[in-house]
Amino acid sequence: MKKYDLIVMGGGAGGLTVAAGAASLGGKVALIEKNDQLGGDCLHYGCVPSKTLIEAANRVHEARSLKNLGLQTSGAVDMKAVMGLVRESISHIQKHDDADRFRKLGVDVYFGQGSFHSPHEVRVKDEMIYGKKIVVATGSRPSVPEVEGLEECGFLTNESIFGLRELPQRLAVIGGGPVGLELAQAMSRLGSETTVIDRSPALFGKEDKEVSQSISQILEKELTILTEASVEKVEMRGGKKTLFVNREGVLSEFPVDEILVAAGRVPNTGSLGLEKAGVQTDERGYIIVNNRLESNVPHIYAIGDVNGAFPFTHVAGMEGKLVVQNALLGLRRKVSYDNVPWVIYTSPEVFHLGMTEEEARDQAKVIRVFRVPLSNVDRFVTDHRTDGFVKVITDKKGIILGAHAVGGHAGDFMQEITAAKQFNKKIGALSNVVHPYPSHSAAVGQTADLYWRETLFEGRVQKMLEKYVKWKS
Ligand SMILES: Cc1cc2nc3c(=O)[nH]c(=O)nc-3n(C[C@H](O)[C@H](O)[C@H](O)COP(=O)(O)OP(=O)(O)OC[C@H]3O[C@@H](n4cnc5c(N)ncnc54)[C@H](O)[C@@H]3O)c2cc1C
Ligand SMILES: NC(=O)c1ccc[n+]([C@@H]2O[C@H](COP(=O)([O-])OP(=O)(O)OC[C@H]3O[C@@H](n4cnc5c(N)ncnc54)[C@H](O)[C@@H]3O)[C@@H](O)[C@H]2O)c1
């Protein structure tokens, strides 16, 4: 039996980070991937294809609005061409995740489903391998709600939508989380008449309330959004997939050409044989880990979507780096999600870092909220894209507790606040950072300026300043 310092189960964002990091440090590493290519969900069915689809859809949307500038555009979108772009993005990035690259780093790559035989032994196909330490990074898959007739009528998920060859004229999206909304808006901009059905009372439930209200209102201009709605059953009627949607006890029919299920995720743990290793999961199947990312069996770690903490690619990567240090170097580093931002790539984008205003009010005695609407920021005015705002929440001394934005490019221009928070800089420090004029990032500078305006020009400090200036002149 081959023996390894580290076995990594799952060749996605998290697993690849661990395999590359551990091999670079000289560890003997095995990487097991169930599919026939490395890269995981993000590359094949998630971030990469969805962002290409979003970009294509935004370009189509822009082109259609050129009539404001006197140009007419016409014609339907060629879905085959759009999906060609999607495939190009995947194959370009796939090169970084090529199995040979990992083999050159010294990693033994096994293709096949891995499952535990004992706490240190993993079976892949007919081979058994031994790992001193084992990292589970097997990700998650779409959760499909039990709805009468859904299976029979057929539906898409993020695993099949990027294989579409034709644009559905009418599309229903079950689930209005990040997956559902990003894809719903993209499909709508490409030309599908799109309805989003979500059972919760409001969309963007994890966002700051003001953010969720603002972005929901913006999206409602492009999409039909039904909240507190549930799909009771689906039937084929006159060649259409007809959804029966219950809203406050009233049943309405929605005939569509396609259904996208985006109703959350379930972890890929069912076929791992975790019971043979004694690894515990929660009631939803996620592997329970401590803050060093160890499961209840200390030499077995779980990172990425499979531990259910923060299902994002950048978090899987961050956790992967930490696990390399803990598993291979014997450190006892603890994971912290305090400075982890996320971005929802709707148009406009939504940026989230740290506490929402509501969370901050619950936890801190005194908070300060600094808010700048994008209509006050010259670059957004010149772009004619003034929808949205920046909001920074601090404690009374200006220590950043949370930062949020709705706006074009928010995922990029807000990132300097992540850096400030990570390096323990107060909001006021960002006021001293010079922002080029006219840039989108000036929105951050202007929000930080509010801190000094309030601090210097309100109350006791202002009176002292006035006295000082009188005395000097
Ligand atoms: C449509 C969509 C868009 C998204 N967009 C973003 C985004 O813009 N930004 C962002 O940060 N996140 C995004 N995400 C989330 C992101 O894709 C995941 O958080 C990320 O892929 C998690 O990485 P992972 O390594 O945990 O799992 P994965 O990347 O899914 O990798 C897990 C791997 O394990 C393999 N595997 C499973 N079982 C076994 C087994 N028994 N043996 C061996 N291998 C196995 C799988 O085949 C897979 O390759 C998106 C997700 C979706 C669905
Ligand atoms: N830009 C990004 O970083 C990005 C993009 C996409 C996904 N992701 C990650 O993937 C994760 C999963 O996203 P998701 O959107 O699949 O899941 P989610 O859990 O965030 O949202 C699922 C939505 O579906 C609704 N829902 C569930 N069952 C339903 C039903 N039977 N009928 C109607 N509505 C139902 C829920 O109320 C919820 O609003 C996210 O938490 C995020 O971390 C990130």
Residues 6+ apart with CB under 8 A from 178: 344
Q: Whose CA is nearest to atom 38 of ligand 1?
A: 138
Q: How far is CA 85 from CA 50, 82, 342, 440, in A?
A: 11, 5, 25, 28
* Ligand 1, atom nearest to 342 Cα: 11
CA 371 – ligand 1 centroid, Å: 35
Q: Confirm if 352 and 346 have CB atoms less than 8 A apart.
A: no
- Interatomic CA distance for residues 26 and 383, integer angstroms: 51
What is the tens place of the pLDDT at every residue in 151-165? Answer: 999 999 999 999 999
Q: H helices within 354-441, ranges in order? A: 357-363, 378-383, 410-413, 415-422, 427-431
CA 184 – ligand 2 centroid, Å: 12
What is the tens place of the pLDDT at every residue in 20-75? Answer: 999 999 999 999 999 999 999 999 999 999 999 999 999 999 999 999 899 999 89
- For 281, which DSSP code? B
* Ligand 1, atom nearest to 113 Cα: 42
- Tell me the three state secondary structure of residue 18: helix
Pocket test for ligand 1, best of 16, 32, 42 (most atoms within 8 A of CB): 42
Residue with tokens 């090169």: 95
- pLDDT 10s digit of each residue in the chain, 473 long? 999 999 999 999 999 999 999 999 999 999 999 999 999 999 999 999 999 999 999 999 999 999 989 999 989 999 999 999 999 999 999 999 999 999 999 999 999 999 999 999 999 999 999 999 999 999 999 999 999 999 999 999 999 999 999 999 999 999 999 999 999 999 999 999 999 999 999 999 999 999 999 999 999 999 999 999 999 999 999 999 999 999 999 999 999 999 999 999 999 999 999 999 999 999 999 999 999 999 999 999 999 999 999 999 999 999 999 999 999 999 999 999 999 999 999 999 999 999 999 999 999 789 999 999 999 999 999 999 999 999 999 999 999 999 999 999 999 999 999 999 999 999 999 999 999 999 999 999 999 999 999 888 776 777 777 777 888 87
Residues 6+ apart with CB under 8 A from 200: 176, 227, 228
Nearest CA to 260 out of 149, 154, 141 is that of: 154
Torsion of CA 326, 327, 329, 330, to 10 degrees: 70
Q: Confirm if 245 and 226 have CB atoms less than 8 A apart.
A: yes
* Ligand 1, atom nearest to 9 Cα: 43
* Ligand 1, atom nearest to 183 Cα: 1
Q: Confirm if 338 and 418 have CB atoms less than 8 A apart.
A: no
CA 280 – ligand 1 centroid, Å: 21
- Interatomic CA distance for residues 329 and 325, integer angstroms: 5
- Tell me the three state secondary structure of residue 151: helix
Residue with tokens 């609407």: 373
Confirm whether the ipTM is greater than 0.85. Answer: yes
* Ligand 1, atom nearest to 306 Cα: 26
What is the sign of the dihedral through the CA atoms of 239, 241, 247 and 249? positive
Could you list the beta-strand ranges (E) of 329-441: 341-344, 349-354, 367-373, 389-395, 400-407
Q: Whose CA is nearest to atom 38 of ligand 2?
A: 177
Q: Which residues line ligand 1 (CB under 6 A)?
A: 9-15, 32-35, 40-42, 46-47, 50, 113-114, 137-139, 158, 179, 268, 271-272, 304-306, 311-314, 316, 345
